């Protein structure tokens, strides 16, 4: 790959650009975002060139990374897919995959396995933006790929990209898009919604309580840390993985109700035992 374009130079896109550069990519990296974001990305050394226009940013690039919320990923696929040269690989970093893969198949047709590779790095921070970008963000993290039917992620341009992902320190794992979305609903999306619900509940109950602010402990801070994650990203996750998140939330609601009903029985001890078993595994 001689040139890379990253559409969305925030936390993930900026970190990916910094990681590529740290690990030996010497070609130009082109960013696409708002002017102030592009200026900061240049100052940090994440990108070499920046364009507000997505089509202009993609010109002459061998790899186009859609590092935006899922809704915009699908919109960019719709707008840019027909314009990209046939030998340009397009990939994404979205948190849900089934809808993205379906959109890629609609856009690229029979050539979709050659032209698009769906991906999702299991890495991030509670705060977003290029100012949070980190070249080590993906070190030791799992990078999930959800191939299209018949797609070999180790061949061609896709194979070259996967090698770069491994070079920056990520562990590559392949998975079916539907299974990805169900697992991520439990692994990532449910904890996020739980953190938001806990933080919102405590805020409404004790928001102006000076004593609460004075004694708020480590447990509460840790469990609400990700509650500051941007709604703009999680809105699209909720819209594209609704059924799986609903299922996970319902199961959690049932568990919480069971605990509430057994605060004075030995069933509470059983719940603690099951929880410890999970942590041990």
Checking if the pLDDT of 153 tops 80, the result is yes
Q: List the beta bridge partners of residue 143.
A: 121, 172
Report how far apart, in Å, the C-alpha atoms of 184 and of each of 104, 213, 246, 250, 251 are: 20, 33, 13, 16, 15
Share of the chain above pLDDT 90, in %: 90
* pLDDT given for residue 185 in this prediction: 98
pLDDT digits (tens, 9 = 90+) for 164-177: 999 999 999 999 99
* pLDDT given for residue 181 in this prediction: 98
* pLDDT given for residue 23 in this prediction: 96
What is the Rg, in whole angstroms, of the alpha carbon atoms belonging to the chain? Answer: 21
* pLDDT given for residue 95 in this prediction: 95
Residues 6+ apart with CB under 8 A from 37: 9, 10, 31, 129, 130
What is the full DSSP assignment across 126-185? Answer: SS-SGGG--TTTTTT-EEEE-PPTT--TTSHHHHHHHHHHHHTTPEEEE--HHHHHHHHI
pLDDT digits (tens, 9 = 90+) for 108-137: 999 999 999 999 999 987 778 999 999 999
Checking if the pLDDT of 208 tops 90, the result is no
* pLDDT given for residue 281 in this prediction: 86
* pLDDT given for residue 125 in this prediction: 79
d(CA 21, CA 164): 11
What domains lie within the chain, and their CATH numbers?
4-175 (3.40.50.720), 179-280 (1.10.3660.10)
pLDDT digits (tens, 9 = 90+) for 72-94: 999 999 999 999 999 999 999 99
pLDDT digits (tens, 9 = 90+) for 194-206: 999 999 999 999 9
Whole-model pTM? 0.91
Share of the chain above pLDDT 70, in %: 100
Mean pLDDT of 208-233: 88
* pLDDT given for residue 104 in this prediction: 96
Mean pLDDT of 221-242: 93
Mean pLDDT of 9-34: 96
d(CA 153, CA 48): 28
pLDDT digits (tens, 9 = 90+) for 228-238: 998 988 999 99
């Amino acid at each position: 790959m001689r040139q890379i374009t990253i559409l969305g130079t925030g936390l993930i896109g900026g970190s990916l650009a910094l990681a590529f550069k740290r690990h030996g990519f010497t070609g130009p990296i082109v960013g696409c975002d708002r002017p102030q974001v592009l200026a900061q990305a240049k100052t940090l050394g994440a990108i070499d060139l920046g364009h507000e226009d997505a089509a202009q940013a993609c010109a002459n690039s061998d790899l186009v990374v859609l590092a935006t919320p899922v809704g915009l990923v699908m919109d960019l696929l719709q707008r840019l897919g027909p314009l990209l040269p046939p030998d340009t690989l397009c990939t994404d970093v979205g948190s849900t995959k089934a809808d993205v893969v379906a959109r890629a198949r609609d856009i690229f047709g029979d050539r979709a396995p050659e032209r698009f590779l769906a991906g999702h790095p299991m890495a991030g921070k509670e705060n977003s933006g290029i100012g949070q970008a980190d070249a080590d963000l993906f070190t030791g993290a799992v990078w999930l790929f959800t191939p299209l039917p018949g797609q070999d992620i180790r061949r061609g341009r896709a194979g070259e990209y996967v090698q770069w992902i491994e070079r920056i320190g990520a562990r590559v794992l392949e998975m079916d898009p539907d299974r990805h979305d169900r697992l991520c609903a439990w692994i990532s999306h449910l904890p996020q919604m739980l953190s938001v619900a806990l933080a919102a509940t405590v805020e409404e109950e004790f928001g102006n309580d000076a004593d609460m602010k004075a004694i708020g402990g480590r447990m509460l801070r840790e469990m609400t840390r990700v509650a500051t994650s941007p709604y703009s990203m999680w809105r699209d996750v909720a819209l594209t993985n609704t059924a799986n998140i609903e299922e996970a939330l319902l199961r959690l609601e049932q568990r919480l109700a069971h605990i509430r009903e057994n605060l004075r029985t030995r069933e509470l001890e059983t719940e603690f035992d099951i929880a410890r078993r999970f942590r041990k595994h």
